[in-house]
Structures are given as C-alpha cells and as structure tokens.
Amino acid sequence: MPKKIDNSLLHGSVAPGFEEVQKEFKRNFEERKELGAACAVYHKGKKVVDLWGGYRDKKTRAPWEEDTLVLVFSTTKGVSSLALAVAHSRGLFDYDRTVATYWPEFTQNGKENITIRQLLSHQAGLCAIDEPLTLPILADLDTLASVLAKQKPVWDPGTRHAYHALSLGYYESELVRRTDPQHRSIGRYFQDEVANPLDLEFYIGLPPEIPDSRIANIHSPFQTLRMIINIRQIPMKFVRAFLKGKSLTNRTFSNPKILGNMSNYNKRELRSIELPASNGIGQVRSIARAYSVFALGGAELDIKEETMEALINPTPFPPSGSWDEVLQSHSCFSLGFSKPSPVWHFGSSEKAFGTSGAGGSFAYADPDSELSFAYAMNKTNFYLHSDPREKALSEAAQECAANL
C-alpha cells in the first residue's frame, strides 16, 4: 500500500498544464521510497515546474528547503560540458583539432592523434587512470595534468567507446585551463561564464562559505552486497565486470578508491575539490535553468550555431559500434553528453542531450520541445539510467509539454 506522506513536506509550484509532474513527484514519496528530492522544468524559457520536498537528512529529519543544495554525481558531467560548449563558442578550441594542439604534453603514449571530439565522446580509451590518485593529487591541477598526460589509452583511440566515468571531468578541466587566456579551472570558468550571468547556484568545488547545513546528505546503500541484492536494477554484465578486480569497468570506477563509496561525498574534503565529472553541488532549478538556455538555442550565452549543431547531433559511433566497454551495454555519447538511444529514451527526439548521475539524478535539454528537465535526490538507487523516480517525472513533463 502507498505510504502516507506529510503534505507539509512537499513544496513548490507548477504552471497550468504541468500538474501531472506534481502528481508523480508526490507518488515518488508515496510509492517509490523517496527520501528527499527536487525537480524543475523549463518550457519555452519559462519555469513551469519547481518542486522540492522530503528530508535533506535522514538522521535528523531536517526538511528539504527551497534553497537546499544537493550533490548530483555524474549529472555534473553535463554541467561541465555546458561550460565547454560556451568555451567552444568563444573560439577557445575546435572540436575536431587534436587535444595535443592545445596541450603538447598530451602526446605521450600514443595520444597524439586524439581529437577533442573523440575525447568528449568517450572514444579516447582514457576511461581508467593507472597511477593511483589521491585527493591531494586531484586538488593539485598541475600534478593531475602530469598524470593525465602520461596515461596510455586502453585501445587504439577512436576504434571503440566506453564511459569515462571519472576521468572525463579531469581532462575537460585541463582542456579549459590550456585554452582559456586566464587559465581558469573548469569550476571557475563555469562560475564566471555560466553561473554568474544566469544567476545560478551550482558549484564544481564547493566554496568554503557555503555551510554544510544547506546541503542534502547522501543516503547511499551502494555497497557490493546491496548491489547484488538489487541485481534486477543493474545489467548483469556490468555487475560481473564491476566485481572483477582487473576489469576495465572496475579500474574505471575504483581510482581513487575514496570515490567508490558514495557516502564519502558527504565529507567536506571531497565536496571542496573540483571533480568535474562527479561532485557538482547546487540547486536543482539552477541545473534546469542552465539547460533551458541550450534548449532554446543558446542565445542567452551567445552560443554559436555551429556549437549547437554539434551538441544536437550524435557523434558517429566508432568502428566497434555502440557497445560500451565499461558499462557493458549499448550507449550513445556526444561532446560530454549522453544522447537518446534504443536502450535509453529521453526527450522528444534524438536532438536531446544531458547526463544522468549515480543514484538516480538526471538533467537534459530538449531543443525540439524547447524543454529542459532536472531532478536530483539524496537517496540513491542502483540504475545506470532511467531510475523510476526520474523517469516518471521526465515522461510526465514531456507529455505535458506535448499536450500544450
């Protein structure tokens, strides 16, 4: 039976025609075991859904407030890649030039011909980092750049693809540092060129002045035993590869080891450094607002037409096809984003682009319907994508937009 939900813990508003999203948001708490969450939708440039509710902390039962911030794991990749799209439109780099054009040291160990498009589309073979990483190394961008430059691809670049779960963000940040005249990190570049102009609150690297009390604590059962118990939520081939110590899947997700336990993201030391693929923290409505600019063609951030064309068109698959060597399933990527595919439907057409995060968060832009969507929560599930909570909200938003 659905559990009773205290309506005083559910807040926000929806525009006429989007009431179904609010119904699904409530059902998440009543039927899908939601703890705390927020959801925001923009349509044709206007905010039509702004919902939040539940608890930001399971132990204290502190309520999720209007200004609560939440860590969104790999949904961060999309935010980082929006910043790269801005940099591309400003002429800082060309997607089809080699990474080494802007970062000469990158040529080590057979990487001289890797293009930025291949790197951002997960085709570079750099999903796993061999040298053990620590938080001090990740915080020292010069040292990290040296580690990244030495890494050898695990396949001939451009011939296969696999999810660069953590490493993509490191490479993105160094690319920005190498091409930006001010040599800003991607976290700083995002703040200056995206967040500040749009009045967003989202951080890649949490500033010291933001108190922990504003941040939703992650409640994560993501341990090996729990993964096995919840095997129906995860592809069996992925689980087998993840549990195999020397597999590419295991190597991709296990360095540094501290990131393997999602609850560690509640620690200030892990929130404070820049992990552009995994530790973005912010208000969910800010993520939806950022994607909304791109759903409308990017004019508000002076995004060039050629940049938008690159974002809405999927990068051609490598010769090996759509099989993902890390996720052990089929996937489709383009310039830092996931794209709709036969195994993962989102948006109204193949022009949509976004990223999902471990545990269930998801955000995307849909240029054809001029809609953007963002959802994040603090109780994690095990789905690689299409978490039932997010899926119900996203599909309701799409249906409401289509009806209008």
The answer to whether the beta carbons of residues 129 and 255 sit under 8 Å apart is: yes
pLDDT at residue 200, as a whole number: 98
How many alpha carbons lie under 13 Å from residue 391 in its C-beta half-sphere? 11
Q: Which residues of the chain have pLDDT under 70?
A: 1-6, 221-233
Q: Residue 157: is the preceding peptide bond cis (ω within 30°)?
A: no
Measured between alpha carbons, how far is 112 from 206 in angstroms, rounded to an integer?
Answer: 34
CA angle 287–289–294, rounded 5-degree value: 100
Phi first, then psi, for residue 384 (nearest 5°) are -70, -30
The strand order across the sheet containing 70-71 reads 70-71, 281-282, 202-203
Structure tokens at 243: 């549990």
Residues in the chain: 404
**In-domain check, residue 129:** yes
134-140 own/partner pairs: CB under 8 Å, 24+ apart: 134/256, 135/256, 135/258, 135/269, 135/270, 135/273, 138/170, 138/256, 138/273, 138/274, 138/275, 139/273, 139/274
Angle at 257 between CA 254 and CA 263, to 5 degrees: 105
Is residue 34 within 8 A of residue 2, CB to CB? The reply is: no
Note the helical H segments in 108-185. 116-120, 135-139, 141-150, 167-179
Q: What is the DSSP letter of 10?
A: E
Name the E strands within 178-335: 202-203, 281-282, 323-324, 329-330, 333-334
Q: Which domain holds residue 168?
A: 68-387
Per-residue pLDDT, 1: 44
7 touches 30 (CB < 8 A)? no
The whole-chain average pLDDT of the chain stands at 94
User: Is the residue at 60 inside a domain?
Assistant: no
In this structure, what DSSP letter does residue 326 have? T
What was the pLDDT predicted at 195?
Answer: 98
- The reply to whether 350 falls in a domain is yes
Q: Among candidates 214, 345, 187, which has minimal Cα distance to 273?
A: 187
Asked whether residue 252 is domain-assigned, the answer is: yes
Q: Classify residue 316 as exposed, middle or buried by CB count within 10 Å of its CB (0-12, 13-18, 19+).
A: exposed
- Does any domain span residue 40? no
Asked, for residue 9, whether it belongs to a domain, the answer is no
Amino acid (one-letter) located at 30: E
Q: Per the structure block, which two tokens stand in for 80?
A: 């980082």
Q: Which pLDDT score, from 0 to 100, does residue 101 have?
A: 98
Q: Is residue 52 part of a domain?
A: no
- Residue 235 has what pLDDT? 72
CA distance 222 to 271: 18
Number of domains observed in the structure of the chain:
1
Reduce the DSSP state of residue 161 to 3 states and report it: strand
**Rounded Cα gap, residues 389 and 164, in angstroms:** 25
- Evaluate whether residue 35 is within a structural domain: no
pTM score, two decimals? 0.95
User: What's 192's domain CATH number?
Assistant: 3.40.710.10
Q: How far apart are CA 270 and CA 172, in angstroms?
A: 19
